[in-house]
Structure 1
Amino acid sequence: MKRRASRLVAAAAFAWLGYVLLHTALSGRWWPMLLADLAPPLLLALAPLVLAAPAVPAALAGPGPRRRPRRWLPVVACAVAFALGAGQSGLDLGGWGRGPGRVPPDAVHIVAWNALYWHQDDDPDAFYAYLRSFDADVYLIQEYLNWRADSDTPLPVDDTARLRREFPGYRIITAGELLTLSRLPVAGSRALTDPPGYDSAPPGTDFPAFWRAKTLRTDVRTGGGIIALYNTHIPVQLDTSDGVFTPAFLKGVRRQSLRRTAAWTSLTGDLLCTAVPRLVAGDLNTTPAMGELDRLDDLLVRARPTDGGVYPVSWDARRLPLWQLDFTFHDPGVRLHRYRFRDSPGLSDHSAQEFWITTEGNPRT
């Protein structure tokens, strides 16, 4: 019985190592991996540790020195899988010793938040009270829209009148489902839409801007000069409008992959052409395990929460918070003095990102 259990553990260790190797090589490069990437990234660190727990005693219990080296192979497989997976798991061991820094008085206070259909099913007064409680200089909001459940389609909203009452003195900028509020002077703004040759909008949609514009760039003037703020919402991995257990499901995953690629292409293309300091924040619908984040890691610095633990999460704030889908990236010369996730009490399934920044020296280096 013990021998059979050891073989099962060994098979599981080798199978997991194979999965990690495939994931490392293909995530962000092959669209079917979007399905595997739905799992909590913490599994990439926990699974090999769980498998190593029975694998080590089994190796030590070998009958003799000739067979013992082979019995250690499952342990080696677990160690390699952990070494490859830990960096993709979302674990931030530096979070133990990292604490909130001093925020200088001239720092720019920014909040980025997926508002989950803009108080469609919530009390508007409580919703606005939550937004106002931050008293931020800039708000980068995603899902400034409603959603029709019967047809599974987006609906535009126009809450401009109340926004002006609730946020006097702020500039209101919208593009599709994206909303940016700024009480800092705005030097310019524009939506980043689908790249040439591709159209994300389905035929007959009443809200094409929702599909085509997934980043709203706003250049604001700060004490350190102009900074380009990218309010970004990468499309979700799955399209379940045709059901899950249907032949159309995989076609929907492929379609969403193309939409995600279009959104990433528009964003990174603009980042490469921008001469001023850059900061990207929003709901990227991407976990630390997904290779798509390499697109931003190659260009910018990934922000690390100063007030979080060793496993930062932002979703699902209402049910089981096991994923970080919301991120902030910035140029090296943009300094984040404090960065944290704030609970959104029942108003959204996403926690809000809140941070304070200044620019110093050459903001791009």
Structure 2
Amino acid sequence: MTLLEASSPVVAEPVAPARRRSGLTVLGLAVLWLGYVLAHELLSGRVWWMLLPDLAPPFVFALIPALLLGGAAIVRGRHGGRAALLAVVAFALTAGQSGLRLPALGSPGPVPAGAIRVVSWNTQFWEQDEDPQAFYRYLRSYDADVYLLQEYLYFTDGPIRIDRLAEVRQWFPGYQIVADSELLTLSRLPIRDSRPLAAVDDAAPPPAGTDFLSYWTTKTLRTDIEVGGGVISFYNVHTPVQLDAERSPLTTRFYTVVQDQAARREASWRALTTDLDGNPGPVFVAGDFNSTPAMGELDRIRLDEAALTGGGLYPSTWDARGRGWWRLDHVFTSDDVAVHRYDLHDSLDLSDHRAQDLRISLT
């Protein structure tokens, strides 16, 4: 008779309290982040106060899920697995808003004969604080067929109208010039038509007594230009900035300004999208939108994004003089406008915005 030794029961090793707390912490952070992402999806571009959290660099929508996944890998276990799942869901919801542009990493194809060069640039108050010769040399170096330039003005305590058309004609002989408000469009191709798109909102009227009314009412300049046997409508855009950085966020006036600017932004978006909806022809929309890829306002433009064709993995246009964490400048085109190249260039300390440089043609 053989005696069988009784086997000892297997007892699960208890989870250390510290590790359990770490797992709950990571899971809690993942829940909070997913909650913010859902709120952002619902509210961005719809309520004025979302303009403030939307000031965060877009890469946070990729960075925070990555950090959460790292934390989940460390704590592991049931809580870590749930946290990882929530992080993946959050990133999936906002991947397009992170500013990352994977298609732009591909090699650009050849630029076909007949393609034209277009440059869009926020000049930061023209040449107010710069050497005018260096400023015009920089612009002229692109030798572009079409220039869409913003902030054709000076600014001290407020916007100041300027007239530099004589200098512009001297530096750009043979170009046609269209200027309105703070927007200036140059073309050496024939211009068929042009018109400013007025944007007025009764909730935030222009300041009383202003001597530069168009600055407050015109934030888009449309110019129809002959290109390759057809006509492309070029929209030169500068959406009003969100806030007054000189004011303290501890004052009520700071938030009043944000609300007023939100109304002006809304009016400018309405003017632009209304005209786009009524334009059946090819369109090219570019400028300083003061909007990052994370902001819901850009969803109103149902066009192709030029940054998908170039500019790097994380194309940024501002601040060209500091941390380039934001892309505030954009280009959008209709299906019948092909973008063969999209590049961003340093402004040589002439502006806080990088210049957008494109080669395009009609398809």
Counterpart residue identity of residue 84, structure 2: V
**Alignment partner, residue 177 of structure 1:** 182
5+ residue gaps, structure 2, are 1-17
Residue 307 of structure 2: SS of its match in structure 1?
coil
CA distance in 1, matches of 2:204, 2:48: 18
Task: Specify which of 201, 204, 209 is matched with residue 214 of structure 2.
Answer: 209
Instruction: Give the deviation of 1:303 after TM superposition.
Output: 1.2
Q: Could you say which structure has the larger radius of gyration?
A: 2
Task: Specify which of 103, 119, 135 is matched with residue 111 of structure 1.
Answer: 119
CA distance in 1, matches of 2:80, 2:128: 58
Residue 147 of structure 1 pairs with residue 155 of structure 2 = yes
Deviations along 1:321-343, one digit per CA (max 9) or x if unpaired, are: 01111111111011111111111
8 Å Cα contact 2:102/2:308 also seen in 1: no
Residue 192 of structure 2: SS of its match in structure 1?
strand
8 Å Cα contact 1:305/1:338 also seen in 2: no
**Alignment partner, residue 99 of structure 1:** 107
8 Å Cα contact 2:149/2:185 also seen in 1: yes
CA distance in 2, matches of 1:196, 1:6: 50
Task: Specify which of 33, 44, 51 is matched with residue 27 of structure 1.
Answer: 44
Give the % identical residues: 50
**Alignment partner, residue 13 of structure 1:** 30
Deviations along 1:292-338, one digit per CA (max 9) or x if unpaired, are: 00110x2x211125442211111111100011111111110111111
Task: Specify which of 133, 137, 140 is matched with residue 129 of structure 1.
Answer: 137
Counterpart residue identity of residue 29, structure 1: R
CA distance in 2, matches of 1:91, 1:52: 18
Residue 304 of structure 1: SS of its match in structure 2?
helix
8 Å Cα contact 1:115/1:144 also seen in 2: yes
8 Å Cα contact 2:309/2:339 also seen in 1: no
8 Å Cα contact 1:194/1:200 also seen in 2: no
CA distance in 1, matches of 2:307, 2:283: 17
Deviations along 1:241-291, one digit per CA (max 9) or x if unpaired, are: 544321111111111110000000000101111132111010111111000
CA distance in 2, matches of 1:313, 1:162: 31
8 Å Cα contact 1:305/1:312 also seen in 2: no
8 Å Cα contact 2:200/2:264 also seen in 1: no
Instruction: Give the deviation of 1:71 after TM superposition.
Output: 4.9
Task: Specify which of 53, 69, 72 is matched with residue 81 of structure 2.
Answer: 72
**Alignment partner, residue 6 of structure 2:** none
CA distance in 1, matches of 2:101, 2:205: 35
Residue 242 of structure 2: SS of its match in structure 1?
coil
**Alignment partner, residue 339 of structure 2:** 336
Query: Structure 2 matches for 1:263-342, cutoff 5 A?
Result: 263-296=268-301, 298=302, 300-304=303-307, 306-342=309-345
8 Å Cα contact 1:100/1:307 also seen in 2: yes
CA distance in 1, matches of 2:202, 2:55: 29
8 Å Cα contact 1:233/1:283 also seen in 2: yes
Counterpart residue identity of residue 129, structure 2: D
TM-score by length of 1: 0.91
Instruction: Give the deviation of 1:99 after TM superposition.
Output: 2.0
Residue 327 of structure 1: SS of its match in structure 2?
strand
8 Å Cα contact 1:48/1:78 also seen in 2: yes
TM-score by length of 2: 0.91
Counterpart residue identity of residue 118, structure 1: W
Residue 187 of structure 1: SS of its match in structure 2?
strand
CA distance in 2, matches of 1:350, 1:270: 27
8 Å Cα contact 1:37/1:289 also seen in 2: yes
**Alignment partner, residue 239 of structure 2:** 234
Counterpart residue identity of residue 291, structure 1: G
Flag the 1:11–1:199 CA change in 2: closer, same or farther, 3 A. closer
Task: Specify which of 179, 183, 190 is matched with residue 195 of structure 2.
Answer: 190
Residue 120 of structure 2: SS of its match in structure 1?
strand
8 Å Cα contact 2:203/2:260 also seen in 1: no
8 Å Cα contact 1:224/1:358 also seen in 2: no
8 Å Cα contact 1:305/1:341 also seen in 2: no
Q: What count of residue pairs does the alignment treat as equivalent?
A: 346
Counterpart residue identity of residue 84, structure 1: L
RMSD: 1.6
